[in-house]
């Protein structure tokens, strides 16, 4: 994600902080400074930092549990609304998805339990202490952790509770069906939140409702896409009628190819036909501006494009494009020779054709 900075690497996963998070700290500091000077400002910022340390711990609950099932997480990002661990994929085995989803809130429950033991029990003033800057730091942190755990267990995507619900349903019914049901329940909850927010004039509740509603919708769409391409191989959806470039060609020749063909992505292969990289229309324009038309294709091609074996599941292509927001993945043979490309556009064409003949699986 743009505008974020890597601040640490924990257990091999980069922890990134978005710049808006720094704005949140400044805002909190300023509000508390207005109320009680420097001491209040520092206390306020310290609390937010402690809170987000707990959010990082929550994400690592997911990350480390997923790693037990062989799922790599390259980075997690801290946003003002919380943390986001980018798991390579979500496990499709219900038991694994259940444990990965539960691990996050479980970390916050554990932190809350330890803190409550340390301070000698639930604060007498109850939940009130959470919003009282005069209350004890550890009391507030314990309550905040309880709140994080509860909020995340709402049975609605993109919350952990949505995944828990889907996993529980998937023990009994088909994964795709489970996703649709869980998404519908999530949208129902979002609707109720929105209504409560409107009636009570609470903008925060309306914001949460919108967030949940959109999250549930995109999860349902993703579920349908995955269901549609299940059982097909990467090779069956690849564009194979392609013109190719070599790394030593000039950018001018690539520009010419872009005009001459309907391709928006130009694959680059070596003399043996092995895939080397990809030139996109955007990359070409940028390359022309920065290096001029005499520069080499090899200097401007994207080399971090996923290579998917032709006999791998088609779902791998989708994952390859989503990972880092790439325009295409390369479908290759055993020896790395380029067979074709899979793009979002031709993947949706593929789905359209399949849905027109649903029984031709
Ligand atoms: Zn979580």
226-245 confidence digits (pLDDT tens): 777 778 888 888 888 889 99
Ligand 1 centroid – CA 65 distance (Å): 12
State the distance from the centre of ligand 1 to the C-alpha of 172, rounded, in angstroms: 24
Q: Considering only CA atoms, which of 217, 215, 96, 93 is closest in space to residue 154?
A: 215
Confidence (pTM): 0.69
Q: What is the pLDDT of residue 269?
A: 93
Residue 358 has pLDDT above 70, yes or no: no
Rounded to the nearest angstrom, the distance between the alpha carbon of 154 and the centre of ligand 1 is 11
Is residue 96 very low, low, confident or very high in pLDDT (cuts 50, 70, 90)? very high
Q: How far is the CA of 16 from the centre of ligand 1 (A)?
A: 16
pLDDT per residue over 270-328, tens digit each? 988 899 999 998 888 998 899 888 889 998 898 888 899 988 888 888 878 877 678 88
Residue 264 has pLDDT above 80, yes or no: yes
Q: How far is the CA of 152 from the centre of ligand 1 (A)?
A: 6
Please, what is the average pLDDT of the chain?
85
Q: How close is the Cα of 102 to the center of ligand 1, in Å?
A: 8
Comparing 263 with 80, which gets the higher pLDDT? 263
Distance CA 81, CA 205 (A): 13
CA atoms within 13 A on the CB side of 112: 21
Asked if the model's pLDDT at residue 113 lies above 90, the reply is yes
CA of 91 to the centre of ligand 1 (A): 14
Output the CA 159–ligand 1 centroid distance in Å: 7
DSSP for 294-326?
A: TSBHHHH-B----EEETTSBHHHHHHHHHTTT-
Give 359 or 110, the one with higher predicted confidence.
110
């Amino acid at each position: 994600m743009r505008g974020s900075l890597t601040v640490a690497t924990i257990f091999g996963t980069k922890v990134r902080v978005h710049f808006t998070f720094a704005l949140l700290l400044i805002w909190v500091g300023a509000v508390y400074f207005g109320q009680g000077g420097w001491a209040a400002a520092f206390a306020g910022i310290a609390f937010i930092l402690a809170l987000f340390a707990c959010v990082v711990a929550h994400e690592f609950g997911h990350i480390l549990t997923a790693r037990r099932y062989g799922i790599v997480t390259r980075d997690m990002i801290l946003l003002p609304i919380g943390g986001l661990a980018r798991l390579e994929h979500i496990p499709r085995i219900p038991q694994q998805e259940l444990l990965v989803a539960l691990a996050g809130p479980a970390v916050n429950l554990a932190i809350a339990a330890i803190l409550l033991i340390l301070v000698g029990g639930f604060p007498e003033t109850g939940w009130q202490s959470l919003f009282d800057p005069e209350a004890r730091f550890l009391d507030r942190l314990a309550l905040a952790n309880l709140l994080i755990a509860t909020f995340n267990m709402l049975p609605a995507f993109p919350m952990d509770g949505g995944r828990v619900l889907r996993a529980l349903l998937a023990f009994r019914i088909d994964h795709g069906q489970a996703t649709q049901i869980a998404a519908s329940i999530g949208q129902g909850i979002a609707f109720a939140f929105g209504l409560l927010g409107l009636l009570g004039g609470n903008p925060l509740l309306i914001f949460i409702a919108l967030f949940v509603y959109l999250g549930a919708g995109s999860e349902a769409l993703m579920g349908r896409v995955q269901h549609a391409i299940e059982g097909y191989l990467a090779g069956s959806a690849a564009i194979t009628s392609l013109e190719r470039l070599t790394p030593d060609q000039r950018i001018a020749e690539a520009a010419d190819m872009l005009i001459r063909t309907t391709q928006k992505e130009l694959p680059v292969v070596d003399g043996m036909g092995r895939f080397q990289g990809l030139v996109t229309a955007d990359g070409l324009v940028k390359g022309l501006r920065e290096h001029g038309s005499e520069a080499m294709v090899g200097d401007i091609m994207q080399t971090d494009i996923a290579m998917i074996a032709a006999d791998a599941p088609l779902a791998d292509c989708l994952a390859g494009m989503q990972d880092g927001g790439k325009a295409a993945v390369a479908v290759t043979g055993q020896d790395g020779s380029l067979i074709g490309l899979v793009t979002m556009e031709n993947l949706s064409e593929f789905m359209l054709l399949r849905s027109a003949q649903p029984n031709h699986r």
